[in-house]
Amino acid sequence: MRTLLCLAVAASLLIAAHPAPANTQFTFRGLWVDTGSYNTQQAADRLLDRCRRANINVILPNVMVHGGLMYKSTHFLHTSVADGVFDPLAYLTQKAHASGIKVHAWYCVYYEGTKGLPPARPEWICSDIDGVPMDSPFFLSPQIPGVNDYLLSVIKDSLAYDIDGIQLDYIRYSGSLYDYSELGRKPFIDSHGFDPANFLDHAERIVPFDKDPFPIRVLHAKRHMGRPWETTWIESLMDRAGIGFGFITEKPANVDALRAPGALVISRYFDVSREMSDAIQRYIKRGGSVLWIDAPTLGADPILAHTIGIKPKTGYMPEKWRKLQGVGDHPLARLIPTTPIKSTCEYAPETDGATIVARFDSGQPAIIVNRADTGRTVLVCFNAGGATGESLPQLIRAIVGWMRADSGVKTRVDLMAAKRAEWLKWRADQVTDLVKRVRAAVEAKSPRLALSVAGGFSGAEYYTCMRDGRKWMSWGLLDFGNPMDYCDNTEDLRYDLAMHAKNVLPDKLATIYPGLSLYTSKTVDGKKTSVSQDARILADQLSVLREEGYHGFALFCAAQLSEDQIKVIAQAAR
C-alpha cells in the first residue's frame, strides 16, 4: 500500500504540472489487440462487436510478434499470416473503419520471439556483457548494421494498408547489459576509440588507474548470470547516479586485485563463499570501501557479519512504500533523502556494533555504516536497484561521495562516468535512429498518419533499456504515447501519473494516454495464471484518469476484455 505521504507528493506533482479540467472527455479510447483476437474473420467480427459496445474508438492490433506478421510483406524474414485467402490487417482495417474505429498497427519492434522460434539471422541477436547470445527471449540488436534497415522495410510495407498510424512497442533493448556482441561493439569502437567489453574485468583499459584515484567496481556475481534484471538493476542505478564504474566477475583474485582506496559495490549477493568472504575482508583491511545492497545471508559466516557490523540473523520485509529517516549526527545521516521508496528487504538485519545512519519509518534499520581496520562498509538494507522511487540515485551518489571523502580522496572529474555516458548514449541513439526513420516514412506517406510508442516516459528507462521516450516526445517525433501503467489499485496509478507529469513537458502531456491492464494474476492450484481484472478496479482507475485530466487511455488487452469491463468502459466513454 502507498503511504499517505506518497499520495500527497504524487498528487501535488501532478496538480502543479497538469491541472484537471472538470469536464475532461476521453477522446482517445484505445484497446491493444492480440493476434488471436483477429486472426480469422470470425474472431475479428467478434472483436469489433465488443469494441462497438464498449465505445472503443482506436484499436491497436499486434501486427508483428513471435515470428508472425499479420499482413503482406516482401521483406519479413519469418512467416506472414496473410495470404490470398485472408489478410488479417486488411480485413480488420476495412471493418473497423466501417464502424468509425481507427486502426494503429502495433509492432513488437526489436523483440523477435522466444524459444521454439529460431532467429532468422542469429548474428543479429544481442549478446550480454559476458558475450553470451540471448537464447530466450530473442532481441535484435539496434546497433548491428542492417537491423534498423530491415525493421524499417517491414514497417514501411504496412503503409500500403489503410491504417491510421503505427505504434512502436519493444522499441528498446532488453536491458542495460546488452548489446556486447562483436558485430554490435565494432561501430562503437570505431567511433569512440574504446571497447565497452572492457567494462568487465578490465575497466583500467578504459580509464587508467593513474587517472582514477578512487576506482569503483561492481561485483558481477555468478547468481546474476541468467538473471539479466539483476545486473540491469544495479547498473542502471549507478548510471543514474552519475557514478563511473566497471564490473569484476566473482573471483577472489579479482577482489584482491582491486586498488585501495576505492569502492566495491555488491548488490543482491546473498550466499557468499568462504573464499569470496575472505577476499572481501582483505580488501576492507587494505582500506577499501564496500557498499552492500540487500544484506547477505550470514548464518554460517559470523566473521563477515562482524565486519559489516550486523548479527548473523535476518528477517524478510515485504514490498511496500517506505520512507527513510536520517539518524544521529553521522555525516551521511544528513544526506539521506526522505522521498518515499517502494522496495523489498530480503534479509532485514540487526546491528552488532555498526552505526545506523537511517531507519525506515517503521523503525527497522535502513542504512548501516561500519568501520573495519582502515576500510569502511555501508549496508543498504533493501533492494535499491529494483526499488521504485526518484530519490534512489541521490542516495547512492551520497553514499559513494561520503566513502570517497572519508577515504581522503578529492576528485572533481569522474572520467569513468563520462565513458559510461558515451556508451549509454550511443546505444540509445541507435534506437532513436529507427524512431526518426519511421517518423520520416509515416510523414512521407501521409500527414494524417500518427506515430506513437507503447512504454513509459520515466527518466529511468533511458538507463534501464535505452528507450528515450521523453526526448522523442519533446522533439515532436511522436503524436501520442501509451505508458503501460499496469497495476491493481488507484494508489499505484496516481504515483505513475505523477511521474508522467514530472517527466513529460506540459504541452505534450495532453497526448499521454495511460495504459491500463484488463488482466491480473491469480494463483490457481498453486500456479499463477492471468484472469480478467475486476471491472470495479478498472472503473476506479478510469475515474482517476478523468479526475487528473487525462484525455484518453489504452487497455491491455482484447483477450481479457470481459462483459463487465465492456459496461464500465462504455459508461466512462460517455
Closest C-alpha among 137, 134, 164, 140 to residue 152: 140
pLDDT of residue 245: 98
Q: CATH number for the domain including 390?
A: 3.40.50.880
Whether residues 400 and 431 share a domain: the answer is: no
Distances, alpha carbon 1 to alpha carbons 113, 320, 463, 493, 502, in Å: 35, 6, 27, 12, 22
- Residue 32 and residue 165 share a domain: yes
Same domain, 113 and 246: no
Question: What is the Rg, in whole angstroms, of the alpha carbon atoms belonging to the chain?
Answer: 25
The pLDDT score that the predictor gives to residue 226 is 87
**Residue 23's pLDDT is what?**
58
Q: Please check the confidence at residue 12 and state whether its pLDDT lies above 90.
A: no
Over residues 233-247, the pLDDT tens digits come to 999 999 999 999 999
* Amino acid residing at 306: H
φ, ψ (nearest 5 deg) of residue 178 = -120, 155
Could you give the CA distance from residue 404 to residue 395 in angstroms, rounded to a whole number?
14
The Cβ of residue 433 has, within 10 Å, a number of other Cβ atoms equal to 14
pLDDT at 13: 37
Q: What CA–CA distance (Å, rounded) separates 404 from 212? A: 12
Predicted local confidence at residue 435, as pLDDT: 98
pLDDT tops 90 at residue 2: no
Clarify whether residues 447 and 518 are in a common domain. yes
Domain match, 241 and 138 both: no
353 shares its domain with 424: no
Mean pLDDT over 403-423 rounds to: 95
Give the separation between CA 113 and CA 69, rounded to whole angstroms. Answer: 12
pLDDT band at 313 (very low <50, low <70, confident <90, very high): confident
Does 442 map to a domain? yes
pLDDT tens-digit map of 214-269: 999 999 999 999 899 999 999 999 999 999 999 999 999 999 999 999 999 999 99
Give me the number of domains the chain comprises.
2
**How much of the chain is helix, strand and coil, in % rounded to 5?**
40, 25, 35
Q: Are residues 120 and 32 in the same domain?
A: yes
Nearest to 413 by CA among 239, 258, 290, 242: 242
Confidence of residue 21 (pLDDT cuts 50, 70, 90): very low
**203 located within any domain:** no
User: What H or E segment, with its residue span, contains residue 293?
Assistant: strand 289-293
Q: Is the model more confident about 201 or about 317? A: 201
Q: What percent of the chain has pLDDT over 70?
A: 96
Tell whether 424 and 470 lie within a shared domain: yes
| 228 found inside a domain | yes
pLDDT surpasses 80 at 64? yes
Residue 3: predicted pLDDT: 40
- % of the chain exceeding 90 in pLDDT: 85
Of 410, 441, 456, the last residue of a domain is 410
| DSSP symbol at 38 | S
**Residue 528, pLDDT above cutoff 90:** no
Q: Do 267 and 287 fall within a single domain?
A: yes
Domain that holds residue 247: 214-410
Per-residue pLDDT at 359: 96
Per-residue pLDDT at 11 exceeds 70? no
- Unique residue bearing C-alpha cell 558485430: 183
Give the Cα-Cα-Cα angle 410, 415, 419 (nearest 5 degrees). Answer: 155
The whole-chain average pLDDT of the chain stands at: 93
Which CATH number goes with the domain that contains 39? 3.20.20.80
The packing angle between helices 147-157 and 415-445, to 10°, is 30
| Mean predicted confidence (pLDDT) in 294-319 | 89
Is 201 within a domain? no
Residue 418 CB coordination number (10 Å):
12
Domain's final residue, options 393, 410, 427: 410
Q: Is residue 198 domain-resident?
A: no
Q: Is the pLDDT of residue 14 over 50?
A: no
Q: Give the residue among 76, 78, 59, 89 at the shortest CA–CA distance from 152.
A: 76
Is residue 5's pLDDT more than 60?
Answer: no
Say whether both 307 and 455 belong to one domain. no
- Cα angle for residues 110, 112, 114 (degrees, 5° grid): 135
Same domain (yes/no): 386, 423: no
The pTM of this model reads: 0.93
State mean pLDDT over 366-386. Answer: 95
Cα 69 from Cα 277, distance rounded (Å)? 52
**Together in a domain, 537 and 558:** yes
Q: Does residue 195 lie within any of the structural domains?
A: no
Decide if 484 is inside a domain. Answer: yes
| Residue 205 maps to a domain | no
Of residues 135 and 442, more confidence is placed in: 442
For Cα atoms 181, 184, 190, give the angle at the middle one, nearest 5 degrees: 120
Domain endpoint, select from 381, 410, 439: 410
pLDDT at position 166 over 60: yes
